[in-house]
Every structure is written in C-alpha cells, then in structure tokens.
Structure 1
Amino acid sequence: MRNKFILNILAILLLFSACKKDFLDRSPLDGYTNNNLWTSANDANAALVGVYNGWINADFVIGSDCASDNGFDQYPWEGLLVYGNGSVNPSLVGVLSYPTTKAYNLYDYVTITKCNFFLANIGKTPMDATLKANMIAQVRFIRAYKYAIMSQLYGDVPLVTTVLTADQSLASVRTPKADVVKFIISELAAAATDLSVTPNSGDGHVTKGAALALKARIELYNGNYADCITDCQAVMQMGYVLYPSYTDLFRMKTQNNNSEIIISAQYVQSTYSNNMPGKMASNSSGGYSSFIPVQSLVDAYEMANGKPITDPASGFDAANPYANRDPRLAATIMYPGESFTQVNGNPTYYDPFTTTSADYYASRNNTSPTAYLVKKYNSNLTDFSQLFNAGLNIPLIRYSEVLLTDAEAKIELGKIDGTVYDDINAVRVRAGMPAVDKAVYGNQATLRTLVRNERRVELAFEGLRFFDIQRWGIGSQVMSGPIYGAKLGTITPSTGKYTVTGAPLNIETRVFADKNYLWPIPQTEIDLDKNLKQNPGY
C-alpha cells in the first residue's frame, strides 16, 4: 500500500499548488509549506482546489461501460478490454507498458490521502465557521465518493481516515465492505448538513443535492430501500428539473447551470482539459473510436411506440433496424448511415462499411470494429475546437438517475403506486417516449424489468452499468459468450441509406465467472503489503 498511502507533506503541497481548477476561482499559489498553508480562508480554498484536482477520471466514467455489456474498448493498453472479456489478472493491473495489455487501476489512495490531509489541518485556519464547515463537507463528500467507487470495484478495502506514516501504511488490512458502506453513508449524511442547498452551483462544487443523491445511490446498491426513498424524496424537493433536450443535455453549451446536473466533473480547455471527445469520435473526424457500443446495447432501446424490439407487435424492421426507435438511441449511439457533422462543418453520413471510407470497420485504423460510436457527448463535434483538449464536463449524477432510483427502490419494496409510474414516465416522456403501459407493466416483476432497462438506456456510458450488473447478479447472463456489432451492409453516399447485406460483426467471446463481480487487487499492492489478501478467484 505504500505507493498509494505515502504522500509526504511536500508532495501533497505540490499537488495543491500545481492545481489549475479555474472553476474554483483560485489561481495557483506557489511556495506553500504546511506551516503557512492554513493561515487564511484564501489559503484553505487553495488547499481545497488541490483536493478537487484529479478527483475524477473521465476515462473511467465513460469507459467503464466497456467493462459491461454496453461497450467494447478495442485498445488493450487503455486497460478496460480485460475487464470486459474476463481475462483480467492481478499482475496486469497498473502495468503501464505500451502497447501491451494492461488493466485499469482504480485502487488508488492519492485523493483520499489529500482529503485526510485537508481534514487534519483545516481546523487550525482562522476563517468564517460556516465557510469552513462547507469546505470540510465538500472534502468529506469527495472522500466518500472515492470509497464508494473502490468498495464497489474491489469489495473490502482499507478504510483510512487519517494521514498515515510509512509504518502504518504497511500494516493495513482490508476493512469489510459493509463497514466501508456504513462509513460512506455516515459521511454523506454529515456532509449534507453543511453543504449549499443551491440545486446547481454551476462551478463544480459539491452541494447538498449531490451528497443526498450519492447516499441514495449507495443505499440502493446495498438494498437499504427505505432510506434510499427518503433521500430521493429530499432531492426531488430541491428544485432539480429534467433538461428539455436529452441530446443537448450533454453538450458544452448547456453544461453550466443545467437544471438536471446534480454534480459533474468540471474541465476547462487548455487549463484542465480532457480528451474524451477525441477518444469517442470517428476516425474521419480525427478521433480514435476507443469506447464503442455493442449490439446488445442497441437492442435494448425500445421502438418509439414503447414496445421492445423482441415484441412481434413492435413494428421492428430488421432491414431498417434504427427507424422508429427510442430517440435516445440516436442521441447516444452513432450507427451506420446516421448523418453527422465533421469538425470542419461539412455534413456527411457515417459509413463503416465501404472499404475506401475513412471509417471502414475492418481497417483497424482508429475505426470502430462494431460499426458503432458513442455519440452522447459528441452530438455536435463543432462544439470542440480541439477534440483532445476539451472543456467538456462529465456528469456524475443526474436528476434522471434520482427518479429511476426512487422508482426502483419502491418497486423492490413492493410499494407500487402512482409515484413509481410518475418517476419513470418523467424520464421517458422527456426523451420523447410514451408513458408506461400499465396493462403491460403492472406488477413487481414486470416493473423491475422495465426500470432496469430504463436505467440501461438512459444512463449508457455514464459509468453505472457495471455496478448495476454487479448488484443485480446478472453477470453470467449478460457478460458471457460472443458480443456483436452491427450487421454488415452498404451505405448510400448521397442519402446514408443502410442496406443490410450480411451477418452481425463478431467482436469477441467473453467469459464471466463469479470472481469477475470484483476487480483484482493489484499484485504490486499485495507484494508491498503482506497483510492484504487478494479477492477470491484471482
């Protein structure tokens, strides 16, 4: 654990002073020591900037769907491929060699150490008590968020709430997940009392709504449905509103002061940017096609009449598979023949099948082997002057998730009343879908199927699908066997008409075992700290 826990004071201060989080309205300050850092509210805010710096990894939020049945990451060196196909092992985790296979690593205590350092020192700062309490609450939220992610991915993890010495870090043991969850819920409840009640600060600061929404999420994940409903109801009284356009919800032009975004990871071009638009964009647009949807996700979107495509009465046409579908399909996924605008502003049609096309699926030149692309964040590429240097914020919790969480918790408790339908209908109708047919979805079993699918299509590529698979215990059903892309076909250049000519693209065959519900602890951590025990099966 040493390489994760041990950040000496100088290193922590360098992290704080190097931060460039413009959204916190604080310029970088150099020359801090622990003796002079805590002398004013401005200095405490600079330390808070350092806590926010790097607390979220945008790659994981979007890319983790490639460790689920929603997506596929074709590049082994990006670290998600082995989680998707079940071949991950502890020795792969954290290996940074390029371009060989590695595994994504979120077993990371850097942000937690910064949180602990902040909380250990903020008390000495002479400043307004209310402002100090608010800062403390923000940091407690961030620490709780990090523990929420780690405990979901790894199960038992060392629960560290103070700054450790070197000897202490090498004597760590894994805290039972149940105790970590209790800590997370307690921290979020405490933080909520001192956080701003403003529905959306617009600047990336944690608010009360974020604390209660995350608390509700964790309670849902752990079967504490009654408290989950209570927290959802509290958030629902705070003034959040679904944004009118599902497509525009994820664009840069609407990302600040958006009525639906409860908390997001904030970025500023050239200052604190991310490369997500470039990683998702097509080769013809200058992108890498890294995180790509698979056919299973496409099939999850209902027809526009509200019927699943497997229903013989749905009107689904296999020869025209993307017509008359849930509008969220076109908003989330770029499919063959769909029109799009390239960076230079020229409209064209996405063509992954013509051998001379820059997006030909089989060229493996930054093209999608499934013939699909993520469009959710890239609906208008002209929004970005630089695809790999973008100020695109990444939503972490949206109000639509709270509505679906409230509905699911009530369904699981058997408290099925009009509010369950109200929650789900609000999400569906905003997207352009019809209200739930109560004659079809009128009991716990059918509503459970509906709300689970609604979560999948509403929240695709927002970092939640693997956790849903995990908590529902459906890994062997949805994560084993071959995964497919679109059916082979041709694209008419002038109209984008997609004509099916062959079978679905066969991408890979996946294996899922019970051990894959958890990620392996990195072998480097086991080697450093003999007190740590590996997850079962690894």
Structure 2
Amino acid sequence: MKRKLFSLIAISGLFLTACNKDFLDRNPEDSYSNTSLWTSAADAQAALNGCYRDWEDSYNVIYMDAVTDNAYSRWVWEGYMNIGNGSLTPSDNNVTNRWNFKSIQKCNWFLENVESTKMDEALKTRFKAEARFLRAYQFFTLSQLYGDVPLVTKNITTVEANNITRTPLAEVQKFILDELAAIAPQLEPSYSGNDVGRITRGAAYALSARLNLYMGKYAESIKDCERVMGLGYDLFPKYGDLFRIQHENNVEVILDMQYKENDYANGNIGILPSSSLGGWGSIGPTQSLVDAYEMKNGKTITEAGSGYNAEDPYSNRDPRLAASIVYPGQLYEGGYFNSIDPASADFMTGDNNPMTGYMPKKFIQQLSDYPDMWNTGLNMIIIRYAEVLLTYAEAKIESGLIDNTVYDAIDRIRVRAGMPVTDRLVYNTQAALRTLVRRERRIELALEGLRWYDIKRWKTGEEVRKGTVYGARQGTVDKNTGKVTFTTPNHQVIEQRLFNPAMHYLWPIPQKEIDINKKLGQNPNY
C-alpha cells in the first residue's frame, strides 16, 4: 500500500467535529459533504467550529515548561522529559511530536470552500479571518519549534504531501505577520453570548506583538502592543484567581483554548497534583524557578539586605510564588504540604509525586473547583494582557526607549501581585532593566508554556538548560503548624541535562516524516 503522510492530509469529515463551550456546542453531523454543507451561514459556522478543535492543546501548555529550567517532567512516556534533558533524537518515540498539519489543513479546507456560501458578506469575512488566525497560530508554533516548515496554504493531495519541501523560516514568519495584519481589522474587539471565546482583534495584534518581539522587530512589536492596549483589556485584580474556572474569560484574557466538561474536557489537570490528592505528580517546578522569585521587599534572594533565610526559604517571598507553586509547609487542601519527609505519602521520590518536591498550583488553586479533575471545563490561557505589558516594556528597553511607560508597564504587574514598584535607583540602565524584565517574564508567566520561547530567542540555553536540575531539600513538616525543618544540607539532585546550542534550539523533524518524504531534510546536527 502506498504510504501517506497522514499529518499533512486532511479528511474533510474530520474537520466538522465541533467542540468547546457555548459557541461550539452546536454539533454538526459528521456525514456532511462539500455538496450539502455550504448552503447557509449555519453550515459555514459548523465547519469553522471544526477548525477550532485542534488549534492548541492544554497538554502542551502544561508540559512546555518542562523543557526549560522552570520544571521537570518525571515520566518519559509523557513526551517531554527527553526534550528537556537534551537526549531527544529524530527516532525517539518518547518525544512529543508537534509536527502536525491537521489543523492547518482544516483551515485551508474551510477557506477554499466557504466562499460559495450564501450568507452575510461581513460575517463571512470575519469567519475567514478567524480561520486565517488559527492557521497563522499553527505556523507560528511549528516555525518556533522546527525552524523551516512547509508553508501549506491550500489543500494538497497525497502525492503533493509526500513531495513537499520546507519553506525558509523568514518567509514563514513574513506570512504570519502579513496574515495577522490583514485580518486584525476584520475581527471583532470582543464577543458576547455564545460567541465568547472566538478569535478577537486583540488576539491578532497580541500574537503579532509576540512574534515581532521574538524576531527582534521591536518598533513593530511596540506598535502592536499599543494597539492591544487601546482595546480595553486590563489586569485581573487577583493574580492567582485569574486562572480559576469561575473567573475564566476575564478582562485579562486575550486568547485561550476553550474547554467544556463532558463534551470537550480539559482532562490534563489531574497530572498536576501529587498522589495523596489523586494526581500523577507529572510536573515538578524546579529549585531554580523557586529561587528566581524575589523577596517581598523587591530584592532577589542573593542581594544584601534581602532578608532571605535558607532555613526558612518560603517566607516573605513574592506572593506569586505561593500562587503558582505548592511548596513544603504551604497550607493546601486542608493540610500542610509535605513532600520532603520520606515518611510522607507525598514524598518527592514516591510514585505519582512531583520529584522536585514542588507541585504546580497555577491551574489548581483549589481542587474543589473541579468535581472531577480529569474532566474539567477549565480554559487554558494562551495570551493574556500581562504578557503584552511585559512585551511592550522589553521591546522599549531593547530599543533604548526607556521612559515612564516602561516602568509603569512593569509596575502594574508587580503591584497587582503585591510587590513594590521598581526601584528606579537600582534599575536605571538598559542592562539592569533587561535583567528585571526577563525575571518578570519568568515569574509572571511561570508554568504557562512560554519560557522555552524566551530561552530560545535570548540564546541562554547553555546557561539555564545545561547541568544539574535540583529540587527541594529533604526534611520534615509540622502537621499542625506547617513549620519546615530541613535535615539535609543539599538540594535533591533530579537530573543531569545536556544542551548543545548547535542543535537544541530546534526540535528534530520526526524521522518517520523523513522516511516518507526525504525532501524534508533534517535540522542541523540531529
């Protein structure tokens, strides 16, 4: 039988499966055909809803920080451990394969067929803009991970798929930016009712700002951020609560992946808690991430006068630490978390416990939010307003345009978290502000799947992705007070990591794809 590159071939019937919350609840029939589908606006919307199904996945958001210095993935079969430790190979079956064009082909199919639909032209234009965004987002992710990728903008045959070549990165990035600029005015600034969750104008400008920042096109990124700033977004009042299911679709959310329990559930929340809470303990925030949080007075833990005490390391820290990570001695779900005592059910080396001794908290502020943590409707935020503020500040810093708006953008985020405003006597140079904004990005956006892209563009992989990964020190936790007493002087050694800058800033093209189509080639040194 002739081999087929299935990740590049789209089967139209699969495109029509709807999902997600209210605006995707109108499930179309799988038996639609091209001759019967494109007869009304409702048909076009049903087809577009299918395009929304696969454009992102909570799994990737949750696990992506495990390929950075922020987190460790303890189970190799979950697909991210070998990427994080640098042992990945093109033939590795234990590595997540994100070389997937199914969503792109869905969008291509929609765009090639919707034109014939008899419907309001303005609505049709908006529908096409939504599909073009979803396609552009896929190319953004693919090009960030793999570099040169096939720029597939039309439906292709099996023969075409098996002979396709990769498009240079610069051309793919230009396509993405051109698409986002073209469609932004065609998208609505916001939606109400059943349409909440659809792609907005702010999402187009924010993704453009992100890509322009990553490319070092700072002037363009600043302009994109300013456009987003004029659309009415704001910071949600309480940092930890903005991730809770009862506050989803809040004023800070620009783009998210919509889920609905039972129908299209976010079933990945259960991997986060430790075993005593019914979870798998798959992801462990690292000691490096914990140490990056400032003290409550705004000083880093290594600064003179910070007040940091290594024997009481979690006290008087940036409140975002307690909102993002469950650390030993923290009161959580009715008890003091104890991952450092060998006698505890949650001990870090035990089965289904995070091996670093730290548990992610950002998406499980309270487990009682979910009747079933394996079947939740929690949306996964992809872009939020805090990132735009940090992007704006960084782009201006790198451009040498340091003014009050830079400090104001950073301080809005810090003050919301309960931190003091930036000390302008300390952070008064481009170099100092660069250090600050990079640390703020790491802390504010921790465990949201963005850290890898920052490491990649800053070219800091050898500094932060190489060497020993550490977890918490062993000790005891008083079950009545939460007081932590460490019994070992050294932090737990979790893993040794490799990082070769000549190869590891890109993921390898999966060998099974090259076996089908040798014209794809391979990324350097794999």
TM-score by length of 1: 0.95
**1:532 match:** 520
- The AA in structure 2 aligned to 1:139 is A
- The AA in structure 1 aligned to 2:512 is T
Alignment partner of 1:29 is 2:28: yes
Among residues 402, 414, 419, which one is paired with 2:388 in the alignment? 402
Question: SS at 1:43's partner residue?
Answer: helix
Alignment partner of 1:76 is 2:79: no
Question: SS at 1:520's partner residue?
Answer: coil
How far apart are 1:281 and its partner, in Å?
Answer: 1.1
1:26–1:49 Cα contact (<8 Å) kept: no
How far apart are 1:55 and its partner, in Å?
Answer: 1.5
Question: SS at 1:130's partner residue?
Answer: helix
- The AA in structure 2 aligned to 1:468 is D
Query: How many residues are matched?
Result: 519
How far apart are 1:283 and its partner, in Å?
Answer: 1.0
How far apart are 1:223 and its partner, in Å?
Answer: 0.7
Distance 2:442 2:21 in 1: 33
How far apart are 1:362 and its partner, in Å?
Answer: 2.0
**2:58 match:** 58
Greater CA deviation, 434-443 or 23-32? Answer: 23-32
How far apart are 1:26 and its partner, in Å?
Answer: 4.2
- Deviation digits for residues 97-154 of structure 1, max 9, x if unmatched? xxxxx00111100000001000000100000011111110011110010100110000
2:340–2:472 Cα contact (<8 Å) kept: no
Among residues 319, 322, 328, which one is paired with 1:336 in the alignment? 328
**1:15 match:** 15
2:209–2:224 Cα contact (<8 Å) kept: yes
2:21–2:260 Cα contact (<8 Å) kept: yes
Among residues 143, 154, 157, which one is paired with 2:135 in the alignment? 143
1:335–1:371 Cα contact (<8 Å) kept: yes
How far apart are 1:194 and its partner, in Å?
Answer: 0.5
Task: Name stretches of at least 5 consecutive residues in structure 1 with no aligned partner.
Answer: 96-101, 342-346
Distance 1:54 1:167 in 2: 24
Among residues 488, 494, 497, which one is paired with 1:510 in the alignment? 497
Greater CA deviation, 280-289 or 407-416? Answer: 280-289
Distance 1:26 1:63 in 2: 28
**2:147 match:** 155
**2:238 match:** 245
How far apart are 1:12 and its partner, in Å?
Answer: 2.0
- The AA in structure 1 aligned to 2:88 is V
Among residues 505, 508, 512, which one is paired with 1:520 in the alignment? 508
- The AA in structure 1 aligned to 2:90 is P
Q: Percent identity?
A: 49
- Deviation digits for residues 450-488 of structure 1, max 9, x if unmatched? 000000000011111000000000000001110100111
1:26–1:46 Cα contact (<8 Å) kept: no
Alignment partner of 1:429 is 2:415: yes
Mapping for residues 127-206 of structure 1, pairs under 5 Å: 127-198=119-190, 203-206=196-199
200 and 234 in structure 1: CA distance in 2 versus 1, 3 angstrom threshold: farther
How far apart are 1:241 and its partner, in Å?
Answer: 0.7
Distance 1:70 1:268 in 2: 29
- Deviation digits for residues 61-110 of structure 1, max 9, x if unmatched? 12100001100000000000001100000001xx3xxxxxx001111000
- Deviation digits for residues 149-187 of structure 1, max 9, x if unmatched? 110000000000000011111221110111000000011
- Deviation digits for residues 5-30 of structure 1, max 9, x if unmatched? 112xxx322331x3233332542222
Task: Name stretches of at least 5 consecutive residues in structure 2 with no aligned partner.
Answer: none
**1:464 match:** 450
**2:345 match:** 358
**1:224 match:** 217
- The AA in structure 1 aligned to 2:379 is N
- The AA in structure 1 aligned to 2:66 is C
2:66–2:80 Cα contact (<8 Å) kept: yes
**1:287 match:** 279
**1:212 match:** 205
1:199–1:259 Cα contact (<8 Å) kept: no
Distance 2:484 2:74 in 1: 24
- The AA in structure 2 aligned to 1:435 is V
Alignment partner of 1:499 is 2:502: no
- The AA in structure 2 aligned to 1:87 is S
1:141–1:191 Cα contact (<8 Å) kept: yes
**1:98 match:** none
Distance 1:276 1:326 in 2: 27
Among residues 264, 270, 279, which one is paired with 1:272 in the alignment? 264
Greater CA deviation, 505-514 or 28-37? Answer: 28-37
Question: SS at 1:490's partner residue?
Answer: strand
Question: SS at 1:271's partner residue?
Answer: coil
1:370–1:484 Cα contact (<8 Å) kept: yes
1:199–1:209 Cα contact (<8 Å) kept: no
Among residues 2, 5, 30, which one is paired with 1:2 in the alignment? 5
Distance 1:82 1:442 in 2: 40
How far apart are 1:368 and its partner, in Å?
Answer: 1.4
- Deviation digits for residues 282-318 of structure 1, max 9, x if unmatched? 2111001112200000011000111111102111010
Alignment partner of 1:315 is 2:322: no
Question: SS at 1:361's partner residue?
Answer: coil
Distance 2:198 2:28 in 1: 20
CA-based RMSD of the aligned residues comes to 1.2
**2:335 match:** 348
How far apart are 1:495 and its partner, in Å?
Answer: 1.1
- The AA in structure 2 aligned to 1:354 is D
Distance 1:40 1:448 in 2: 52
How far apart are 1:226 and its partner, in Å?
Answer: 0.4
1:246–1:331 Cα contact (<8 Å) kept: yes
- The AA in structure 1 aligned to 2:356 is T
Distance 1:105 1:23 in 2: 30
Question: SS at 1:263's partner residue?
Answer: strand
How far apart are 1:51 and its partner, in Å?
Answer: 0.2
Distance 2:192 2:71 in 1: 30
1:23–1:266 Cα contact (<8 Å) kept: no
- The AA in structure 2 aligned to 1:287 is G
Alignment partner of 1:300 is 2:292: yes
Mapping for residues 111-130 of structure 1, pairs under 5 Å: 111-130=103-122
How far apart are 1:200 and its partner, in Å?
Answer: 8.0
TM-score by length of 2: 0.97
How far apart are 1:337 and its partner, in Å?
Answer: 0.9
Distance 1:34 1:475 in 2: 48
- The AA in structure 1 aligned to 2:20 is K
Superposed structure 1 runs of 4+ greater than 4 Å apart: 199-202
1:200–1:259 Cα contact (<8 Å) kept: no
**1:99 match:** none
1:200–1:262 Cα contact (<8 Å) kept: no
Distance 2:74 2:98 in 1: 20
2:18–2:25 Cα contact (<8 Å) kept: no
2:18–2:24 Cα contact (<8 Å) kept: no
